[in-house]
Chains A and B, each alone.
Chain A
Amino acid sequence: MTTNDKTMDILNLQFIGAGNENQQMIFNLDDEEFGIDVLTVQEIVRFTKPVKVPRAPDCVFGVINFRGDIIPVLDLRQIFGLEPVKHDEFTVTIIVKASEKIFGMIVDKVSDIVNVPEPNIQRTEFSSKEKTKYLKAVGKLENRLILMLDLDKVVNFEEIEEALHPSASNSGSNEIPAQ
């Protein structure tokens, strides 16, 4: 835990100092590197097991207490259709703010804060049906490929639900279990 805490402290310090527009915080899911705009990050906290919310969308891991507020935590692995992994000492919750909403995202680990120069950013139209629709651009950094997330889309649960369970949109939350 201590190494993790130290990393987090350093990262937290780094992102406080960050200000450039294309500063990206890099986190990992499996071997993939994802980037989010550093200015959206509120804080990086150690992973705490969220409290499950019954009948919430599958991509919602649960809720946690963040500075006295109760905020939802998303399971990014679920959204990207990745197999669940065991949470280890590197697992962190990134608290972000997007679309005026504050929420947490559980990621395998946070690795870096980098500046992606504008010419290296490739904004492509991603297909709306694929998982890639949560991406807004791809950044190239030497031999690294950074998938830049569109948090506004990530926090739009209705669409996520629709994408994960295309047919279940009607019968989802109001279904009464058979007794």
Chain B
Amino acid sequence: MSLSTGELDESLRRLFITETSEQLEKFVEILLGLEKTPGSENEVIHKLFRLAHSVKGSAGMMALKELKEVMHQTESMLDEVRKGEMNLDSEKIDLLLQFSDVVKDYVLREKWNEVSVLESWKQVFTHHREEATQPDEKLAISLFLSEQEKQHIATWQEENKFVYGIEVQFVAGSEMQGASALIFVKFMEGMGIIFKTAPDVNNLKNGYFSTFKIVLLTEKPLTLEQEKKITTYPLYESSGISIRKWVYRPDEGAIPIKIERQYEQTIRVDAVKIDKLINDLGELLVVNSGFNQLFQQGYPEKKNWDQFTRMFQKLEQIAGILHREVMDLRMIPVRQLFLRFPKIVRDIAKQKGKMVELVFFGEDTEIDKQVAERIADALTHLIRNAVDHGLEDREARAAMGKPDYGCITLGASQEGDNVILTVKDDGKGLNLQKIREQALKNCLIRFDEELAEDEIIKLIFHPGFSTAEQVSDISGRGVGLDVVQNSVKELKGDIEVSTIPNNGTVFHLKVPLTLAVVQSFLIKISGQLFGIPSSQVVESLAVNPLHFHHFADKQLYTLRDEAIPVIDLHDFFSYEKPAPRDKTPLIIVKYGRLKIGLLAEELMGQEELIIKQINRALPENPLISGAALLGTGEIALILNVHEMIGAKGGG
């Protein structure tokens, strides 16, 4: 079967997007490395050069002239660095990092239209190469606008009004540019609205700048005469004034999220995994032909019964292996999830003027791609918070005798069917006293309520807490931790927080390895099937309910000197109770440090269940987290142990 042109184009496009995104990610990774340890070694620059080169190549293949040209510029710039003709200073690294963001956005969009953001970058690179030896803070006009400002401009244009970019070049070594620029701004005010200048008008006295840029908004287009007036304005020390009508396309500002998702849907699988899969599929075919042969000899009879049984066992085994391996295809190393963070940390750190080192551990731990995607935002949130609020500023750190560099640790480790993701900072820690005060202010607790340390910490996840005023300053933690908690909860995960004053805070997010298949205990209650995820089960035993201790209205079971509260699921669900037997199954489950025993009618054993959400037409039922279809066609409801322990009320 051959692919139609459309399909071919589409698959080529996909390949291009995946490949280029990956190359750009590497590009950024290297740049970040360079930023940390400057002194560009040739080998590293060479790598950057090669990456730029291959992006250029793919751009050529996709007939993206714009991208190809701008990548060529990048290549040339890197070539000069490689030859030692240009120094790759932090400013240029910054520029390249911004540039990779732009290119990545460009690549991920649905349509690569002719006019694009890339145009301005060509000029940037040209400038950079022309003035490689001079200090320079030239940025294309589009670069010093925030998203909000871009939006503003886009709206302005939609109203059929006009935007101009004016750029003043100053001669090298000029000393009066500040004053000149001010005079120029005064003059330009007569032409329209000065939307923004770079450098900022209030900041003109500080430092040297070689270009001065203005974004001008006008109701009507500038006449030729006006334009001429501007470009020929006799400005002291200026070497030229250029004006450009600026067509800002709103679609260039906002890249629809939809596309990002589309790109994420592909999974890159380790070739080794595929090989293994093919290998085992071969085994399946062998078993298949084995069965064929047997059937040719006639249907199972007593004489070849043994052979049938053996073949059947083999089939069962292979089915199990294949199932595991296919599930394994969904697993990705958390490294892929972590890759985005160095850039995020760097950006916030820069913005906040902090020095931050991001350390990883356990990057090879594997996690279901879907879980990774659903936890990514929560991690981003925690990491942002850690940099923004968790770490002290440099002065405070110095005063405490801490190293200048704040350290954020991001790590993963596997624990049974769960992955523990750790976000740790060595900052000031949570101020429990102030959290308490804030919670009091927000009426989350009563003034006389006595709370243990971990109960106070839990308050920061309260939605009412995070929306409070100035909370970030008071608690040292930013807004929206309830969002983190929600996404962890949705994954049936768990959060643990510990904090030591002036030593830092640690968040442990416990999330399941995979969402698709969950090893579960199957139990029967009053004839109906229920599942309990095995990861939440400590052990199961057969007990005699007559041996329970009764204390107030609670039943307790003593297991190895530990008193465990017992819930009879029949009572809990108001189901009919079977007659007491001396060997009733008791499933011990845990949530955090709490343990509880669930008394069932019958234990059916363990099974791997594919858990589905109950169609959302049903009102939210906290006790049931989903349902599974069994091989027999029966439905088993999955118990949400966390909620049951909660509903039991502190045991």
Contact = CB atoms under 8 A, between A and B. Distances in A.
Interface residues of B, number: 33
B595 to A, nearest CB: 17
B612 interface: yes
A179 B574 contact: no
B627 A63 contact: yes
A68 B629 contact: yes
A53 B637 contact: yes
Interface string A165-179: 000000001101111
A65 B567 CA distance: 29
Nearest to B527: A52
B458 interface: no
Interface residues of A, number: 28
Interface string A54-80: 111100100111001111100000000
A102 interface: yes
Contact of B647 (A56, A72, A176): A176
A57 to B, nearest CB: 6
A174 B615 CA distance: 21
B398 to A, nearest CB: 52
A57 B621 CA distance: 10
Given A63-B635, A176-B649, A56 B618 contact: yes
B554 A72 contact: no
A70 B633 CA distance: 12
B432 interface: no
A99 to B, nearest CB: 8
Nearest to B570: A177
B619 A57 contact: yes
Nearest to A96: B617
Nearest to B646: A174
B553 A71 contact: no
Interface-centre pick from A60, A102, A176 (highest chain B CB count, 10 A)? A176
Interface string A100-113: 01110000000000
Contact of A53 (B568, B572, B618, B647): B618
Contacts of A174: 647
Contact of A65 (B623, B624, B633): B633
B528 A179 contact: no
Contacts of A54: 572-575, 623-624, 637
B111 interface: no
A71 B617 contact: yes
Given A63-B635, A102-B615, A176-B648, A55 B555 contact: no
A98 to B, nearest CB: 9
A103 B614 CA distance: 11
Interface in B628-651: 629, 633-635, 637, 647-649
Contacts of A29: none
B623 A55 contact: yes
Contacts of B616: 101
Contacts of B619: 56-57, 157-158
Interface in B552-597: 553-555, 567-568, 571-575
A72 B615 contact: yes
B321 to A, nearest CB: 25
B612 A70 contact: yes
Contacts of A60: 618
Nearest to B616: A101
Nearest to B623: A55
B626 to A, nearest CB: 8
A155 B596 CA distance: 36
Interface of A: 51-57, 60, 63-65, 68-72, 101-103, 155, 157-158, 173-174, 176-179
Interface of B: 528-529, 553-555, 567-568, 571-575, 612-619, 621-624, 627, 629, 633-635, 637, 647-649
27 contacts: A52-B528, A53-B621, A54-B573, A54-B575, A55-B573, A55-B621, A55-B623, A63-B627, A63-B635, A64-B635, A65-B629, A65-B635, A68-B629, A70-B612, A70-B614, A70-B615, A71-B617, A72-B618, A101-B617, A158-B619, A173-B622, A176-B648, A176-B649, A177-B571, A178-B553, A179-B555, A179-B571
Q: Return the 9 tightest CB-CB contacts between A and B, nearest first.
A: A101-B617, A54-B573, A103-B617, A72-B618, A71-B615, A157-B619, A70-B627, A51-B635, A179-B553
